[in-house]
Amino acid sequence: MSIVRRFEHVSPAPKDPITGVTEAFLADPSPNKINLGVGAYRDDEGRPVVLQCVRDAEAKIAGSEFLESVSAAVNSKMVEESCKLIYGKDSDAVMEGRFAGIQALSGTGACRLFAEFQRRFYPNSHMYFPAPTWSNHHNIWRDAQVSARNFCYYDPQSKDLNFEGLINDIKNAPEGSFFLLHPCAHNPTGVDPTEEEWREISYYLKVKNHFPFFDVAYQGFASGVMDKDARAIHIFLQDGHLVACAQSFAKNMGLYGHRVGCLSFICDDSKQAVAIKSQLQQIARAMYGSPPVHGVLLVSTILGDQAIKALWTEEIKIMADRIQGMRATLRESLEKLGSPLNWEHITSQVGMFCYSGLKAEQIDRLVREFHVYMTSDGRISMAGVTTGNVNYLANAIHEVTNSGYEESQILGESGF
């Protein structure tokens, strides 16, 4: 009998860039090593944090948990509170019941559900991503077999928004296209449009009948204020857009391991909302059935209890302020070292990430010589910067950039 080698044609998948950074960091025995790859909050000792609001929610739900699927009432409460958080509790859409949503497996799951919805009901449409965007966006829409394209977003020369290119790409995209937008704390660049720029983006998207899809992974981390970080979405609602949002509570509640998120739509009326919700439920049913119980109980408790929610907003502000403080300290340390380069972008960018502008060979040197780990695009997770390592990090960055700058001056190049 011949032996069938059924899986011989299956080769190893490429490593996820962020997972690869973490694995290399963990294998490094150096006591000075720094992990700047993970996009989750760490305290000033570099440790993961369990927020007090989460502990309070845990205490409140103790004894009420059950092992079957979470009840429809709890799920609906979580969706309603999530929509109030992102669209505004006094928004017309929320008060009129024109929203449809379901609990999702964090932000990744919410994006995957939306991609499948787009494939089913808009099979000839395109999804436009900002260039650059979170790397997993490309994987999600590719696996959903939705055509994806890029639009101008980041200008590597100014280390700021390429606003003119962005607007031109909106104008030139086929009418009725889908645009994925980060409403705050853009990943990976940390570059957000101003309020006036958001108004223009909203206007031109409306003119071309494009559909805005917001991926909200870091609400609270840009400014420390939840409503302020949702301002872009509020502008779109005021302009009469129908929108959809993927929300994650992995980062701003420290619930990465619980995989809690929400996918929601703003609809024309409540009848349309019922239809869309039923379609989302059907899509989720075929993918994973029902989501985990514990996380949704925590989130619905935190958002639904006035005292616990108030505590959460205080803790968000503390986390955002620590990251902003580390931005200021890192920039100041580099400037004190006499770096000839301009580091203003460290403090002008916002949120979890700093798009450093470091080149691949400089990042390689940081790993080899200084045991500093980040993704190959130069994205620094500012949550990994602490008062204990910021001066070491600044010295390392100064070493790898200053030598490159001196060489470029000799060659007459622009260097950094």
| Catalytic residue of the set 77, 159, 169, 215 | 215
Q: What is the CA radius of gyration of the chain?
A: 22
CA dihedral defined by 240, 245, 249, 253, rounded to 10 degrees?
Answer: -20
Tokens of 153: 């977003």
DSSP H helices in 257-389: 270-287, 293-304, 306-336, 344-348, 360-370
Of the candidates 184, 191, 221, the residue with the CA atom closest to the CA atom of residue 346: 191
Q: Cβ distance 365 to 385 under 8 Å?
A: no
Whether residue 251 lies in the annotated active site: yes
3-state DSSP assignment of residue 58: helix
Tokens of 409: 């001056």
For every residue of 243-263, DSSP letters joined together read: -EEEEE-TTTSS-GGG-EEEE
Whether residue 215 lies in the annotated active site: yes
Q: Give, in order, the Cα–Cα distances in Å from 322 to each of 162, 288, 385.
A: 28, 37, 10
Eight-state DSSP code of residue 352? S
CA distance 60 to 57: 5
Which residues pair with residue 100 across a beta bridge? 265
Q: Cβ distance 179 to 211 under 8 Å?
A: yes
SS3 content of the chain, % helix, strand, coil (to 5): 50, 15, 35
Of the candidates 160, 316, 303, the residue with the CA atom closest to the CA atom of residue 223: 316
CA distance 351 to 189: 9
Residues in the chain: 416
Q: Cβ distance 266 to 242 under 8 Å?
A: yes
| Catalytic residue of the set 77, 251, 277, 309 | 251
Which residues are the active-site residues? 134, 215, 251
